[in-house]
A and B are shown apart, each in its own frame.
Chain A
Amino acid sequence: MELQLVCNALLLGGVYALMGAGFSLQWGISGIINLAYGAMVILGSYLSMVLFNTFHIDPFLGIPLSGAALFILGAAIYRGILQPLSKGGMVFTLILTFAIRLILENVMLVLWSADYRTIRVAYGGVSFDFFGAHIPLVRLLAFVVAMITVYLLYLFMKKTKTGKGIQAVALDRIGAQAVGIDIQRMYLVNFALGSALAGGAGALWASIYSFSPHLVGAVVGKVFIVAILGGLGNIWGAAAGGILLGIAETAGVSFFGAEWQESLGMVIMVAVLLWRPYGLLGKKFFA
């Protein structure tokens, strides 16, 4: 019984981890609290659904495709709207990204209605026993894919020139500029990368749970908590934060009841903000 709870918590946390990583990057490095993030995630879910229904592409193969589509959308949003218009500071980015959310949400409602949708794959019913705990195959696959993606992201940030450039900009904007890094390009790549993670996480979500445009707000709530728990812009922090949120929610439901699930995450977030605003794993490093 306890093992089952632990497994559930980990498997749920894996999806949160991937979801939170993109939001954390956009906030911590590009300095944009992207309130459209939830809409981007759900858009990724719908793209995966369309790919599955029309071209019979497996939802797990749909993850990179959704990610690629959202990468382009994210780049367009940053270049077209956020970069030129958000000079006035936080109020402006908040309101602009919220406006983008409204547009995306409206488009999804019109295209696909407010009904909850699911993707049913042939192997959806397969599951196996792990020392008495019941583990569905799709959930395990989703967890593994999420962790691999987070690892690839880490490699990108550590090994490639662009990734190092992004880290340099996050560490010291002026210093990065002084050594010849095109900082606006780094912000652009980073924002687009975060959007791609949103799309990928959405496709991943669609392979396990049902989705609808109504989930947009709830997703934003989750990624806020994950990003704060892990420390902004910190990839492994986001992964740990996601798993921690999975554990907290699962434990919260079994100890306090399902109706307190949402508020538990919020309370943890505010507590971490007050106690360690740079995240549980983070160093005092971002502004």
Chain B
Amino acid sequence: MTKKHLPLLLLALAALGSLPFFLSGYWARVLTVMFMYGVIAQGINLMSGFMGYVPFGNAMFFAVGGYSTAVAMGAGIPFFLTLPVAACVSVVISVLIGLPVLRLRGHYFAVATIGVSGALMSVVQNVEFTGGAMGTTLPILNASPAQASVFFYLAMLGLLVVANVTTWLILRSRFGFGIRAIRANEDAANSMGINTTLFKVLNWSISAVLTSLSGSFYAYWMSFISPDEMFNVMIAVNAIVILLVGGLGTVLGPMVGAVIFQFVSEVAWSSFGHYHLAVLGVATIIIVALIPNGFVGRFLELRRKRITGQTEEGAR
């Protein structure tokens, strides 16, 4: 990405931004979910693509955001002021959990995040102020359905842009080099003077904030949330499939992956009905077999090969 791409990007963004005024409610909804998954996948990408830690239970921050907004709005706080609340709560939780759990590596970290997510879900199910296992309702946006659809479309699109710009900025910073050094070799990074604990926890809180904000918008959009839905492991699984399709460890991978994934799963739903889960499974296996680096990863690989004549060794 260089300066000459910038006008092109802004143009594409303007086109995407004006799209909901022409689309039917159904397609606006499909695209809104697409943007939401782009954000969640970017959150996982920050952790697994750049730092090498797979947060398999990252959907818990989606729930944290949704529930922070629901509880705060229940107390009479207007929606936009609940976003900083959600961000703060997710930072606190990610730091509290991250300090012990980020000491674990590899498989153990992935599993511990699933465990923490399950435990957090039980808490939400069993305490009073979250509405328990039955779920809770939020105030409905005071607008016509068409206006609401445009509002949530633009909000999710905006969040996606924020997520991608954040990731891009991180990668150009010292912090970005630090987390990639952790992926390459954590012990070496540590001995070179990188504060690995700080970097890991900080990176997880950034990931948590992005994920939780998408949860906040989702909760307000649906105006009803339940623990089963918000903590569903399928959210993280879909996001990881999106990452693999788009390209793990690339800035644009999550967005590209979300577009392809959302399209494939719409087709699977509408034309295979009862078999749509199996079709999704088979499609995932085929994608992993054919393009293990994802579409963006493959594109970068081909371009690098064309420019330098290098072989695939040393790509990424």
Interface residues of A, Cβ cutoff 8 Å to B:
27, 33, 81, 84-85, 87-88, 90-92, 94-96, 98-103, 105-107, 109-110, 217, 221, 224-225, 228, 259-260, 262-263, 266-267, 269-270, 273-274, 277, 287
Contacts and interface: CB of A to CB of B under 8 A. Distances in A.
Interface string B285-313: 10011001000000000000000000000
Interface residues of B, number: 44
A274 B110 contact: no
Contacts of A27: 107
A62 to B, nearest CB: 26
Contact of A90 (B107, B118, B121): B107
B253 to A, nearest CB: 12
A95 B119 contact: no
Given A92-B292, A224-B114, A266 B119 contact: yes
Contacts of B285: 81, 85, 96, 99-100
Interface string B278-290: 1011101100110
Q: Which 9 A-B pairs have the closest CB atoms?
A: A263-B122, A102-B281, A106-B278, A99-B281, A99-B284, A103-B281, A106-B277, A266-B118, A266-B119
Contact of A95 (B115, B126, B244): B244
Given A91-B248, A92-B288, A273-B112, A259 B277 contact: no
A160 B46 CA distance: 46
B129 interface: no
A33 B110 contact: yes
Contact of A102 (B104, B111, B248, B280): B280
Contact of B122 (A106, A107, A225, A262): A262
A91 B242 CA distance: 12
Contact of A96 (B54, B107, B284): B284
B52 to A, nearest CB: 9
B237 A98 contact: yes
Interface string B78-102: 0000000000000000000000110
A228 B274 CA distance: 35
Nearest to A273: B112
A23 to B, nearest CB: 11
Contacts of B121: 263
A106 B118 contact: no
Given A85-B288, A110-B275, A274 B104 contact: yes
A201 B205 CA distance: 40
A187 to B, nearest CB: 16
Contact of B101 (A98, A217, A267, A274): A274
A274 B289 CA distance: 35
Interface string B35-50: 0000000000000100
Nearest to B48: A91
Most buried by B among A91, A105, A224, A259: A91
B272 to A, nearest CB: 10
A262 B101 CA distance: 20
Given A81-B285, A273-B101, A274-B100, 20 more contacts: A33-B107, A33-B111, A85-B285, A87-B292, A95-B284, A95-B288, A102-B278, A102-B281, A106-B275, A109-B277, A110-B274, A224-B111, A259-B125, A259-B133, A260-B122, A263-B119, A266-B118, A270-B101, A273-B104, A277-B108
11 contacts: A91-B48, A91-B243, A96-B288, A99-B285, A103-B278, A106-B274, A259-B122, A269-B112, A269-B115, A274-B103, A277-B104
A102 B125 CA distance: 26
Contacts of B56: 94
A266 B57 CA distance: 12
Nearest to B279: A106
A217 B240 CA distance: 18
Nearest to B53: A90
B240 A94 contact: yes
B118 A262 contact: yes
Contacts of A109: 274, 277
A277 B112 CA distance: 10
A104 to B, nearest CB: 9
A90 B54 contact: yes
A98 B248 CA distance: 18
B119 A100 contact: no
B277 A91 contact: no
B104 A91 contact: no
Contacts of A228: 111
A98 B280 CA distance: 10
Nearest to B276: A106
A246 B126 CA distance: 22
A107 B56 CA distance: 25
A91 B237 CA distance: 10
B108 A273 contact: yes
A106 B283 CA distance: 14
Contacts of B288: 85, 88, 92, 95-96
Contacts of B101: 270, 273-274
B161 interface: no
Contacts of B115: 224-225, 266-267, 269-270, 273
